[in-house]
A and B are shown apart, each in its own frame.
Chain A
Amino acid sequence: MKDGFRQSMAWLHSWSGLLLGWLLFAVFLTGTIAYFRQEVTVWMQPELHGSIPDAGTAERAVERMSQLAPDAAQWTIALPGERSPAVSVSWRPADAKPNDRAALKRATLDAGTGAVLEPRETAGGNFLYRFHFELYGMPREIARWIVGIATMAMLVAIVSGIITHRRIFKDLFTFRPEKAALRSWMDGHVAAAVLALPFHLMITYSGLLLFMTMLMPWAVDLAYDGNRQAYFAESGFRRAPPPPRPAPQAAPLTPVAPLLAEADRRWADRGGVGSLTVTNPGRANATIELRPAESDSIGRGAATERLLFDGVTGRAQEVPAADPQPAAMATGNYLMGLHLARFAGPGMRWLFFVSGVAGTVMVGSGLIFWVVKRRSQRGRADTWGNGPEPFGHRLADRLNIGVVAGLPLAVAAYFWANRLLPAGLGERAGWEIEVFFLAWAAALLHAPLRPSRRGWAEQLWAGAALFALLPVLNLATAPGHLGNSLPAGNWLLAGFDLTALAVGLLLGFAARKVGRNAFAGKTVPAPVLPAGAVVEEPT
């Protein structure tokens, strides 16, 4: 009875995982990179690499804003920090509505000189971030439903996977890379799954919560008779009240340096001041609001400590206390806050990134295991599907090649396009994305044209070369290459180059393994299973 149950779960695990696995792999891979989307965007805008912050950056930015937008209703100045070397500013013209985000004007300033920079047009890390929950080129709502359905399949695969591998902690210490292909794929899959299991559960469940009102609107619509705005208002998802109208009397803005000094002392352990918001600059009722670089709370939308000053006298003002979130919303927002990781400092961000890589490896190795297992069932000589192979197995294998090996290749191609397309090209951001999809389409078309093992090796080598050479491309096309970034301790740019190099080496290692056919001939005829691991499924 027990075994029947676990075999059913193994069956459910392998099929719920396979059918949406390719989409999940793409979501995991692009979502993982999105933890560094700001850093990716900075790398993709070499025009910002020469921007070097100093003690006078914030004052210079305020000074520049009074020339750029003297009559604006509000300025927002995001100061440089560990995630960006330049100053990002935006302002709301006096005639724009308070909540109209489209009316905001934006610019990027050099942190050292205050000059307006003209970075190349690129979607940067934002494209990968958006893709991981909205895909591309289709209506937003439909895309979010597709990703939502895949996320539910992921949750089902996790639950059934845990039941299948109930002795997960025993399996965790079972890694036999030199053993038969089947076993090492299984061990790798289980290791990637178990090592970061709390992360996988959190990221999947919170992924559903981020879409909760769209995916599951029934409770809201029943309790509020379809009036979702009333629900959002009662839930505390309130929009900030509109800022006061500008006073008719003009008044010069107080010097910001003393305010910043006070705030930097207060927030020394939180990266100092992250941003300034000046409301009604140059008017008698001007205010200056400061926020720290790093939030002290994990929860999404949780109130972050702010400092508010009178913009003319510089005197501190009382910040209206935010309503505490009810327990239910605090729980949900805590989970969603973990998913988004906006609170995370560098160390924590790397931990999330590594966990995301583990998730990507988990999905990828699970997809590969599905094929390897069916091949080993057909016989010891057919590790690479050289003999006659059922269409379904062949299809799954070629999709695996085009997605597991092809998507990293496409991401690398996106970075290459960023540097090789002319900086002044019209619709430039769109062309970069075009190159990403062309490269991915080429990988998906290449896979069925080649024998399985060749297809894997060729695409892995291509991805390895494209990634490993990114630091060289950066050297040839931008000032922020490793020769400059390492001595300057610029870990933002050096981190990108070194990570690209590491990814390239890993892909090259995988390509070499495939090329040398390390697993061939070692496949055991009938897999002897580790105690507790159920890998029997119907074909």
Chain B
Amino acid sequence: MTTLPSRLRFGPDGLRRLDVASRSLAGIVGGYALAAVAAMFLALALPMPRAEAVYTATMMSFAIHAGAFVWAFSVRTRRVWPGLLGPTLLLGGGTWLLHGLQSGAPS
């Protein structure tokens, strides 16, 4: 048996599987959520005509997802979820603010 990569090693086998499952979920679902919220934020924030901002933001979102996915497998376990959810919430808040401002009626 080979040794496990140190950052993926997490105690006994069961815990390691849990760790891998958690990182995979973070990469797939968390990474997609971050990419989706980043796309929405950039679509409102980029200083371009609306269609171009939407297009640019959507185009960039795939790189963000892939980057988040790889990142979820490269850091220590305890940093994975906070590191993905934090920016997602921040960007979500920013999107909410911008959307409210641009709609003219902050709710």
Contacts and interface: CB of A to CB of B under 8 A. Distances in A.
Given A11-B73, A12-B73, A216-B36, A538 B61 contact: no
A169 interface: no
B85 interface: no
B50 A216 contact: no
Interface string B25-52: 0010000000111011011100011111
B70 interface: yes
Contact of B1 (A11, A205, A539): A539
Given A216-B39, A219-B57, A219-B61, A235 B51 contact: yes
12 contacts: A5-B7, A8-B7, A11-B8, A219-B57, A220-B43, A222-B99, A223-B40, A223-B44, A236-B51, A326-B52, A328-B56, A537-B5
A222 B103 CA distance: 11
Nearest to B103: A225
B64 to A, nearest CB: 10
B22 interface: no
A5 B37 CA distance: 27
Max count, chain B CB within 10 A of own CB: residue among A155, A213, A218, A223: A218
A125 B35 CA distance: 36
A52 B6 CA distance: 67
- Interface bin, chain B: 35 or more
Interface string A205-218: 10011001101101
A155 B70 CA distance: 10
B8 A224 contact: no
Given A12-B70, A331-B59, A326 B51 contact: yes
B95 A222 contact: yes
Contacts of B70: 9, 12, 156, 159-160, 163
Contacts of A152: 62, 65-66, 69
B82 to A, nearest CB: 18
B74 A213 contact: no
Contacts of A224: 50, 54
A326 B65 CA distance: 25
Contact of A218 (B40, B67, B73): B40
Contact of B52 (A12, A218, A327): A327
B107 to A, nearest CB: 15
A8 B54 contact: no
Interface in A1-46: 4-5, 7-12
B63 to A, nearest CB: 8
A328 B40 contact: no
A331 B58 CA distance: 13
B62 A219 contact: no
A236 B50 CA distance: 12
Contacts of A5: 7, 74
B5 A219 contact: no
A504 to B, nearest CB: 38
A222 B48 CA distance: 16
B84 interface: no
Given A223-B40, A329-B55, A538-B5, 7 more contacts: A7-B7, A156-B69, A216-B35, A218-B36, A222-B95, A326-B51, A538-B1
Contacts of B1: 538-539
A536 interface: yes
Interface string B1-22: 1111111100000000000000
Contacts of A4: 5-7
Nearest to B44: A223
Contacts of B5: 4, 7-8, 10-11, 536-538
B40 A219 contact: yes
B58 A326 contact: no
